[in-house]
Amino acid sequence: MRQVLVTGGGSGIGRSVAQDFAAYGDQVTIAGRGMEALAETNADGKMRVVQVDVTDEASVKAMFDRPYEVVVANAGTGSAMRVADMPLDVWNDTLAVNLTGVFLTFRAALTDMPSGGRLIAMASVASLKGGGNLAAYAAAKHGVLGLVRSLAIEVARSGITCNAVCPGFVDTAMAEGAIRNVMQMMDVDHAKAEKMLVANNPMRRMITCDEVVAAVRFLASKEASMVNGHDLVVAGGEI
C-alpha cells in the first residue's frame, strides 16, 4: 500500500485521481482549501483529509507529516482575462496557485520521498501553447513544465521521477466556467460555446476525467520508471 497525496482533491480532476488511487488500494491523502468539497470526495471515509493553502509555505510544510510515494500537485485556478485588463493581484494569484504551489509541494515532498517515488504535476495544453485571454494561466503552466523538466534531472539518480500531465478541456466545473465565459463574451448559447472551446481538439469533444486519471495512473506506476521529465498530453491530438 502506497502513501499518495493529491492536492486540489476536492473536485474535478483531483477528486477523480484521488478516488482512483483509493480504489486501487492506496492510502490516499487529499488536500485543499475547502473542507466541504474534500468531505464530498471522501464520502466513504477511506481517505485522509488535510486543509492546505498551497501558496503558503508553512501550510504546505505541515501537510508533509509523513513520507509519500506518490505526490500529485493538482491544485489550480484560472480565469479568462485580457492582459490589458488584468490587475496585478489576478496575475500574482494565478501564478501563486498554479506554479508556486507546485514548487512548494514538490520541494516539501522531496524531504523524505523514498526511491521509486513519483512527482506528478497537473499541467495543461496551455503549458505548450498560448491562448487569447489566458496569459496568466498559460504563463503559470509553462512555468510548471519548466519546473518539471528541471526537477526531473535533479532527482533522476535517486530513483524518483517527475512528470506532467497536460490535458485539454476536461469536463469539470472549471471547464463549465470557461463555457459560461464564452457564452457571455460571444453572446452564444451553451452548446455553441462548448463547441467553440473544443474546436482545437481534433476529436471535437471534452476530455473525461477518467481519461486524465489513466495518464496519472500510468506515470505513478512502476512500469513508468524510465519516464522522467515528460509532458503526457491528453488532448485528442490538439498538440
Nearest-angstrom CA–CA distance, 16 and 33: 17
Exposed/middle/buried for residue 234 (C-beta within 10 Å: 0-12, 13-18, 19+): buried
Neighbours of 130 (CB within 10 A): 10
- Please check whether residue 70 is in contact with residue 2, taking contact to mean a CB–CB distance below 8 angstroms: yes
Residue 193 has, within 13 A of its CA and on its CB side, a CA count of 16
CA 140 to mean position of chain CA atoms: 12
Torsion of CA 169, 41, 49, 152, to 10 degrees: -30
The residue from 19, 137, 207, 234 that is catalytic is 137
Q: Is 68 a catalytic residue?
A: no
Nearest-angstrom CA–CA distance, 105 and 127: 19
Exposed/middle/buried for residue 57 (C-beta within 10 Å: 0-12, 13-18, 19+): middle
Q: Which are the catalytic amino acids? A: 137
